[in-house]
Structure 1
Amino acid sequence: MAGDHGMVEDYSAAEDLGMDDLPRNSNRESNVVSTHNQLLDALTTFLTVTTHHILYLRRLYPPTSFLSTRAYDYPVRQNRHPKVCAWVNDAMAAVRDQLQKDVVEKLSLCVYECKANRVLERWTFDLRSFPQVIKRDDNIPIEPKPPNEEEDGYDDEGDDDDGDILLEQLNLADLEAHFRATLSRVATSAARLMPLPEGPGAPESSFTLALEVKDEADRPVGRMEKEERKWIAAEPASALNRPSPSVPPLEPQQNEQVLDKLSPRTHPVRLLEVGELRLEVWVEESAAKFEFDLPKAGPSSHLPP
């Protein structure tokens, strides 16, 4: 029950519909993630897999449109439509570009109803603690500092004063184990959520990806790079979650029940910590989502279509 979710018509179709279409850690030759680019590739692949799996779990497309496969030795689903695959891959390439620039605070997969353009669910990945290095060091292996820097002639002048130079190598098996555990928690969390509106009269639902940039980050101005042109400014969260004007008044005895139903709910999914990588995941259900399950006020009342 998903509509057009953005610039899909501008993207070329994927040639391969299987998991080979996902980004790979092409620079890795061992079981160790030792460079910043390799860590970016691993994270981008995980976010791509998770996005497809959430689309399946939340039934944004018919279940028959998904392929059954495995990632990190965990059963997942991937949408088989070429344009959906291309849209997700291109969006993740744009996310990777912003992560490399150290401007990302949060990445959100927003599920919204198309008629009023209101967010119903927001799956958030907190990336503010993602390790950063200066760009020229992206492909330099991560090595710890010598114990005696002065005696060994270690040059500290090129280090980042904020301490964001990666100092610790990551074992790939540990990293994938945490990705596998997070996918499992995503599935169990999705099962506990209230279903999205469906059935006769229910609004069409779709999705998009949104970035929340850091306060001190430079906003795209003037001549933007190719990846930056894929982003547009989002509406304020308050506007996306405004109450529907067509919700009818209710009887006094129903007020307490309705207020409880219309309260936004946040569900923690998982905190992923491995080496210097720290990623927190949670899902929010907006007040707008619960309007589709309100008790009726009387024979003359009606719910928004």
Structure 2
Amino acid sequence: MADSPPLTFSQAVRGIAEFIEVAIHTILYVRQIYPADLFIRRKKYDTPVFQSRHPALNDYISGAVKAIGEQLLTGNVEKVVVVIKDKEEVGLERFIFSIDNMIQVEAFNKDTSVENAISSAALGQYFRGFLVKLNMVESQLGQMYLGDDVSFSISIELKADNPPGTKDKNPPPWIPAYTQHTTSGASENSEMHLIRAVNTGILDLSLAVQESDVKLQREREALRRGKPGIATAPKPPPPRSEDALGKDGEQLAVSNPDGSHIDKPTNRNRPSVSFVEPVEVSMKE
């Protein structure tokens, strides 16, 4: 490991994007968004992981990660958020990948090793630590007991005033994201738990999970009723226009790269495809 060359900017981006993809599958498994038999056991970063084997779900995730990787190359990403939500689109948990560019690298220099950066081997060991902690997150968060009523979405929060960039000749359209799913829509009564952080010498990456105030309130109600998990809630009113667009309309989203709007399999016993939700991308103020 000590003899391995330091990372290049491009390697750091590819490594982080790849890890985010592995982590998304892990989140869906450990939070029981799908039944365990939808996943297959694999090995990554010298540790066991679980990967979805549902083709449409995998396409949705890989499409989102492709968009994330493109934005990472531009230095435009502030956060990637995986939102666990109920059937009424209310966010319950946000798994937040925060990214901070430590250095600026010119396009012609992105494949040159960066002095004082860690090596690819060292980065893999850090990611192993992330996954070990992520697999233990249920001890902090508990189970949700929502059954078929739980789903998820993926969002990217971009840096202020920076429009999303892409090399695609026909880029997917950018559409509004639901503010409540973004970190800017989180209540001050939500609770944050840091999972792990790493400084690569090029990009800083940290992973945290945030329990929304809605989730915490429902858990308290469920405990008062003597039932574990999260209590159900009445259907909320439709969002106001400013909720859908965000402050000054800065909340943006991108649809799936293939043009379809693929959501998760909605039936936990017999996976299916719901053409409802796009891969979301938001621009934070």
Q: What's the TM-score, normalizing by structure 1?
A: 0.65
Shift of 1:237: 3.0
Residue 190 in 1 paired to residue 135 in 2?
Answer: no
How many residues get paired? Answer: 224
Cα distance, 1:227–1:136 mapped onto 2, change above 3 Å: farther
CA distance in 1, matches of 2:76, 2:178: 19
Shift of 1:187: 1.6
Once superposed, which parts of structure 1, at least 4 consecutive aligned residues long, lie more than 6 Å away? 238-243
Paired position in structure 2 for 1:234: 177
Paired position in structure 2 for 1:209: 154
Letter in 2 for 1:60: I
Q: Secondary structure at the match of 1:128?
A: strand
CA distance in 2, matches of 1:227, 1:123: 30
2:108 maps to which of 123, 136, 142: 136
CA distance in 1, matches of 2:232, 2:14: 46
2:163 maps to which of 205, 209, 218: 218
CA distance in 1, matches of 2:125, 2:22: 14
Unaligned runs of 5+ in 1: 1-29, 143-165, 244-261, 297-301
Greater shift in the superposed pair: 91-100 or 263-272? 263-272
Shift of 1:127: 0.5
CA distance in 2, matches of 1:100, 1:227: 18
Shift of 1:102: 1.4
Please list, as runs of the form range in 1=range in 2, the aligned pairs for 1:61-140 lying within 5 A after superposition: 61-114=34-87, 116-129=88-101, 131-139=103-111
Letter in 2 for 1:264: S
Indicate the structure (1 or 2) with the bigger Cα radius of gyration: 1
Shift of 1:303: 5.4
Cα distance, 1:100–1:276 mapped onto 2, change above 3 Å: closer
Are the counterparts in 1 of residues 130 and 196 from structure 2 also a CA contact under 8 Å?
Answer: yes
1:267 maps to which of 168, 193, 198: 193
1:304 maps to which of 233, 254, 273: 233
CA distance in 2, matches of 1:191, 1:98: 33
Letter in 1 for 2:205: L
CA distance in 2, matches of 1:94, 1:238: 18
Residue 167 in 1 paired to residue 115 in 2?
Answer: yes
Paired position in structure 1 for 2:209: 283
Are the counterparts in 2 of residues 33 and 39 from structure 1 also a CA contact under 8 Å?
Answer: no
Letter in 2 for 1:79: S
Q: Secondary structure at the match of 2:156?
A: strand
Shift of 1:97: 0.6
Q: Deviations over 1:125-147 (max 9, x none)?
A: 111236442223223x22xxxxx
Unaligned runs of 5+ in 2: 226-230, 235-285
Are the counterparts in 2 of residues 266 and 285 from structure 1 also a CA contact under 8 Å?
Answer: yes
Q: What's the TM-score, normalizing by structure 2?
A: 0.69
The alignment-based identity, stated in percent, is: 26
Letter in 2 for 1:211: I
